[in-house]
Amino acid sequence: MTNQTSSPLGIFERYLSLWVGLCIAGGVGLGLLVPQAFQTIASLEYASVNLMVAVFIWVMIYPMMVNVDFASIKDVGKKPKGLCITLVMNWLVKPFTMAALGILFFEYIFAGLVDPQDAREYIAGMILLGVAPCTAMVFVWSQMVRGDANYTLVQVSVNDIIMIFAFAPLVALLLGVTDIIVPWETLLLSVVLYVLIPLGAGYVTRKALDGSGNPAHIGKFTAKVKPFSIMGLLATVVLLFGFQAGTIVDKPLIIVLIAVPLLIQAYGIFAIAYGWGYLWRVPFSTAAPAALIGTSNFFELAVAVAISLFGLNSGAALATVVGVLVEVPVMLSLVAFANRTRQYFYS
């Protein structure tokens, strides 16, 4: 009986990139065929957080939260290397490399292909992505590399606390302006939706399964709900690409131009953080999530700030949307690479 339930899941996970590719194509196709349906779903939001996407993300990260053992979180401070990598990459490296790449490509390499005013807005959008580290999806990527659930929670939580205080000053510094409007509702609501609520639900579930946190009981439960986690990921992909179907078709060249520095940034940041973890002899279960946290973006916040600062139809808003489009395929490729190189890490 156990083999029957686990085998299809293994096959499904093995070809996850294929399913994501099909969902991307399906999302774009549906977005073009029934745009009014996606417009209705897009209108279901509060503080620039789409509630339908929030539900699917919640479904994705809930199984990992069940694995969080509160009793062991207190010991995370004894292994500070992974947290150090996360914080240095997110706050001392990533924002500045993203700004540098944006300027390099849109003020020099692509200078003859885009209008100078549009180029400045594209750079601004990329900076917003670089200053907004991921809050929600990183739990999914960590789960896919079988990362330490407790350590990942601490890494994300500390990141969120720093983001509340550092996001606006960093954006102001890199954009060269001082009147940054931070949508605090978006920031705080996202932390509540993507961290606090699923964490609380996971804690309650864990206690209900076994008061002593019996790994066997918890393992059986998470195995049962894991397929729903992947379904949530695929549903999110369909929605995100359905929302942006018109933009993808109308502006293919600009999307490709913006994607180039974003891809270099993503793979470059991952290489630095992952290599640092390897050289510092950080265990894979900590090093891989640290690199993935540094690579992924809090796209809801970046999009919301871009719209509030530059307008819905601005180049900055478009750049943050392109960040959304490249996020899932890029992160899946990095997850696959991490899993293939697991054996080279200290354990």
pLDDT digit string (tens) for the chain, length 347 residues: 333 333 344 555 667 778 888 988 999 999 999 999 999 998 888 877 788 888 888 887 787 778 777 766 676 677 789 999 999 999 999 999 999 999 999 999 999 898 888 899 899 999 999 998 887 778 888 888 999 888 888 888 888 888 888 888 888 888 876 455 667 777 778 778 877 888 888 888 888 887 655 667 777 887 788 788 788 878 888 888 888 888 888 888 998 999 999 999 999 999 999 999 999 999 999 999 999 988 998 877 787 788 777 776 688 888 888 887 888 889 989 999 999 999 999 76
For residues 20 and 155, is the Cβ–Cβ distance under 8 A?
no
Provide the pLDDT for residue 7: 37
From residue 41, give the alpha-carbon distance in Å to each of 20, 35, 45, 66, 240: 20, 10, 8, 29, 11
Q: Give the bridge partners for 46, in sequence order.
A: 49
For residues 290 and 282, is the Cβ–Cβ distance under 8 A?
yes
Provide the pLDDT for residue 84: 93
Half-sphere exposure of 45 (CA within 13 A, CB side): 16
Provide the pLDDT for residue 4: 36
Tokens representing 81?
Answer: 């290397």
Provide the pLDDT for residue 102: 94
Provide the pLDDT for residue 313: 67
With CA atoms as reference, report the closest residue to 65 among 227, 194, 165, 199: 199
- DSSP letter assigned to residue 202: H
Task: Please state whether beta strands 49-50 and 45-46 pair in parallel, antiparallel, or not at all (unpaired).
Answer: antiparallel
Listing DSSP states for 39-98 in one string gives HHHHT-EETTEEHHHHHHHHHHHHHHHHT--HHHHTTGGG--HHHHHHHHIIIIIHHHHH
From residue 245, give the alpha-carbon distance in Å to each of 4, 122, 239, 260, 341: 38, 19, 10, 19, 35
Residue 172 burial (10 A CB sphere; 0-12, 13-18, 19+): middle
Helix (H, G, I), strand (E, B) or coil at 133: strand
Provide the pLDDT for residue 213: 55
The one-letter amino acid code at 132 reads A
Listing DSSP states for 243-312 in one string gives HTHHHHHH-HHHHHHHHHHHHHHHHHHHHHHHHHHHHTT--HHHHHHHHHHHH-B-HHHHHHHHHHHH-T
Q: Give the bridge partners for 297, in sequence order.
A: 133
Provide the pLDDT for residue 275: 96
Q: Which residue has the tokens 């209705």?
A: 40
Tell me the CATH number for domain 2-344: 1.20.1530.20
In the chain, where the domains are located: 2-344
> pTM for the whole thing?
0.79
Provide the pLDDT for residue 6: 38
